[in-house]
Amino acid sequence: MNSIQHIFQEKDKNLLSIFFTAGFPKLDQTQQIISELENSGVDFIEVGLPYSDPLADGPTIQHSSAIALDNGMNLDITFKQLAAIKETNKTPLVLMGYLNQLLKYGEDAFCKKVKEVGIDTVILPDLPMVEYENHYKALFAKYGITNVFLITPNTSEERIRKIDSLTEAFIYVVASASITGAKGEISKQQIDYFNRIKTMNLKSKLIVGFGISDNKTFSTACEYANGAIIGSAFIKMLDKDGVNGIHDFIKMVKNN
């Protein structure tokens, strides 16, 4: 059982995950951000690998990636920072990046490093399902790593059920067909989409992302899924208030 599966065993409702870009706002703040998030009661943390062409990300996260890269962040530094906090951090981490980063680093070298720093779940939005089935499923299994697939309002029922059959951690329910970014509120169209997924009675846990920004949107998403991920709104807060604003931000989202 991996760390995310263990979290779901302990708690399967109202899970809060936070996404941040490693190396943003400052190169050396990755460990501090993880520690602050853990102390604030976040259930799991999604660490984004800064990338020059993040296709799934909106302007806010693209900006954070650009800043992180300008700061000098790369995969080796990210892994070094994650290794440094491995022994003290008890909150599960998920690594989010892109297939080209894995390929450039080397498939086995990447997977080995991921496992060495204590991470066992990855999100690669541009990993084709056929490539996963034909190659990466076995490669990830070799290193004890699970992969998270994304679904959108445009994903067919056939594909959703296929993803459900391949899922070991959770399905990332993208709240809209667009890129990431805080939208302010959840629309009726999105509610209909969430209801459609919920009534499919999938075996997998569901985590909603894209457009979740505050207590209202978080609470609404949790009515239809096991939890939600907040990314762009958190990045904006970091950009404005820095690490010192983390506790109040999480308190606002959880409304406690």
**Active-site residue list:** 46, 57
103-112 LR contacts (CB < 8 Å, sep 24+): 105/75, 107/139, 108/139, 110/75, 111/139, 111/140, 111/142, 111/143, 111/145, 112/143
133-156 b/e with 16+ CB inside 10 Å = b? Answer: eeebeebbeebebbbbbbbebebe
Beta bridge partners of 45: 18, 93
Q: Kindly report the three-state secondary structure assignment for every residue of 27-39.
A: HHHHHHHHHHHHH
Q: Quick one: DSSP state of residue 17?
A: E
